[in-house]
Structure 1
């Protein structure tokens, strides 16, 4: 991928593209909750309808993730990201002009969801893995941290547009930004040299052959199930039930939202630190340590009570181990499953994360309905995180398929 005169310049450009693409994609997803009350007042759309569209989008994303990964393996990650950005742009554009429920559903849960499934951490991680071996972990951590950066950098700007002008401008701005970035990536790809094209060439193989290679690798199954546990304990129980739990403890919305903002901000730092460590320490031990640390955070959560300082302490500590699993997991997929099929493997693993998230969200709601509280949910998340830590330790005994350069 010849974008500049030096290899470091190329890495920097790809990292920047990945960061910005994920920031836009995750911000577009988060805007659904921001605009939900406005749609309720303006169109009379029920929250169950809008939430159902959001849930349908998650299902579509889980289905698209492996396909997007395989497309990244076959056609290259950057062209895949460009396609995804333009698809998100089209989807957000449809939402921006929506005044009927079906058009909103098609825009967000149809076209938009396909784009969300493509512009994802596993495609960005594949782009980094194919570009460099040395410093791969740090580059992956920085690039994929865009997934959380958008939540406290772009979403507030969208909230300003929503308040000052209209919700249509919020989605219209997202559409324009995604389309512009997609075009920029396509222009860069059009200018790459013949040498870079040879470097990016993909060995032609069938989807069946690629699946056979992935599924025949024991390391894949370890990483799949551990990442499913990751989805359960992050997207599932925390992203869905942290704020309701804070309300149950008696905290007003403002400190609860502030604590969640701290979690998101520290999350970005945690991803970068985890990426830096991925290049320097034993990766199975690092990943196991992250899961073990996450398990301990649920002890903190159960001790929050009505102490706001404890709430913020949990948010800060959990933020360090929230998305921190991504760089180490991506690096282990590259070395133990193979870079050639990394997109497909990471896509399947990402689908597992989405399944875990759905199970966690449902388990949290069921646990609350049955017990009137979240203690059983937090205990369950604690033991699931502990099991994930023990599972990834098995990787320490498995040889890498490809050399690891640090």
Structure 2
């Protein structure tokens, strides 16, 4: 039975604050690439590989975390994730070897993000909000979470300058402890807003349906591109800006501006998704990113151009998430949305793994990021094209009747 105090509004606030902490902390980690690499005498590939491992572990663990939250509720999963996240940051602060960094930053924070990141939060909220308001509710949650990136990155940069990177990581670990009491707002069994057809569906049937659904495959492939673009930019933009001769503060402010623009972008695209075609809005975002990258790389890199680029990228940063998760709910209903969106999110993290790791690897080999920038443009155009074949339907249509088989090869 649903607790009377566990309202959608409370879940949105608590969920948004949890995303604030988990995502804001994660985005702040890019600021540690340069100082840790210099102090420990590591090449950038060491830190980049740790971030890439984090992304792939986050992605692999996400469907599992989603399935557990579908069955047991989100709160227990969030608490587990918070503890793992804290352990990873503490180990990272005391890392003396690349292996310690890879275990702390790669393994533990990756597991933590899968359990207390936006995928579990969005799934919990999607289950209790009516279909007509779902996209807007997810957009509001994403916008609130985006405040964390806007607020935490300048603070983290200031702490690194004043106290050093190790102390700064311990402060971030202390902040992450707040997700444990905030999880109370999402406590209780999963919401019960399910159709009769969904009630009859097993996990195996849901997975089979998703595997044969062309829209699900296109959506997962496109979300791969989202991860490649955003996580490459989030991990390497501060270093790219510093390499252009600008101060580290410019890179930190650019990341913060991504978060600031993301506040508006998440809400805007969430609201638009409840009124217009989600696939069309997603295609527009990928094309906008590609155009922004072309202009930023071809023109001289200045503080002003970096801030403009960050603002444009920020508008689309998490604007893809409410639309993508909303399409998953439209295709399959909400009973297994945590697991199914977790699978789509795995595609995102595979892309993020490649973008983050290859960014550092190719920089060490060639001394610049030109190849990765070019790949980001090409992939963005491809992702836009992948959305056009996706069929959108009314949320009231029976989920099992909408599968559209992909021809077997």
TM-score relative to the length of structure 1 = 0.81
The runs of 5 or more residues in structure 2 that have no matched partner are: 399-409
Check 1:271–1:401 CA distance in 2 against 1; reply closer, same or farther (3 A cut).
closer
In 2: Cα distance, 1:364 partner to 1:95 partner: 21
Deviates more, 1:111-120 or 1:75-84: 75-84
Residue pair 1:79, 1:186 contacting (<8 A) in 2 also? no
Would you say 1:223 and 2:219 are equivalent positions? yes
Q: Deviations over 1:117-141 (max 9, x none)?
A: 2122221211121010232112212
Structure 2 match to 1:211: 207
In 1: Cα distance, 2:351 partner to 2:103 partner: 25
In 1: Cα distance, 2:244 partner to 2:33 partner: 25
Residue pair 1:31, 1:155 contacting (<8 A) in 2 also? yes
Structure 2 match to 1:318: 313
Structure 1 match to 2:65: 68
- Counting only pairs closer than 5 Å after superposition, residues 188-337 of structure 1 correspond to structure 2 as 189=187, 199=192, 207-236=203-232, 238-247=233-242, 249-337=244-332
Q: Deviations over 1:11-59 (max 9, x none)?
A: 22111122111222224434545556776788x5746655544333223
Residue pair 2:30, 2:235 contacting (<8 A) in 1 also? no
In 1: Cα distance, 2:320 partner to 2:185 partner: 33
Deviates more, 1:81-90 or 1:100-109: 100-109
Q: Deviations over 1:265-292 (max 9, x none)?
A: 2122211111111112122221122222
In 1: Cα distance, 2:337 partner to 2:35 partner: 41
Shift of 1:331: 0.7
Structure 2 match to 1:129: 126
Shift of 1:253: 3.7
In 1: Cα distance, 2:158 partner to 2:368 partner: 35
Helix, strand or coil: the match of 1:321? helix
Would you say 1:114 and 2:111 are equivalent positions? yes
Residue pair 1:28, 1:171 contacting (<8 A) in 2 also? no
RMSD between aligned residues: 3.6
- Partner residue of 1:24 out of 21, 24, 28: 21
Residue pair 2:283, 2:385 contacting (<8 A) in 1 also? yes
Structure 2 match to 1:58: 55
Structure 2 match to 1:181: 179
Corresponding pairs, count? 392
Residue pair 2:241, 2:250 contacting (<8 A) in 1 also? no
Shift of 1:402: 4.1
Residue pair 1:94, 1:104 contacting (<8 A) in 2 also? yes
Shift of 1:144: 2.5
Check 1:130–1:296 CA distance in 2 against 1; reply closer, same or farther (3 A cut).
same
In 1: Cα distance, 2:74 partner to 2:121 partner: 7
- Partner residue of 1:12 out of 9, 12, 20: 9
The runs of 5 or more residues in structure 1 that have no matched partner are: none
In 2: Cα distance, 1:294 partner to 1:99 partner: 35
Structure 2 match to 1:399: 393
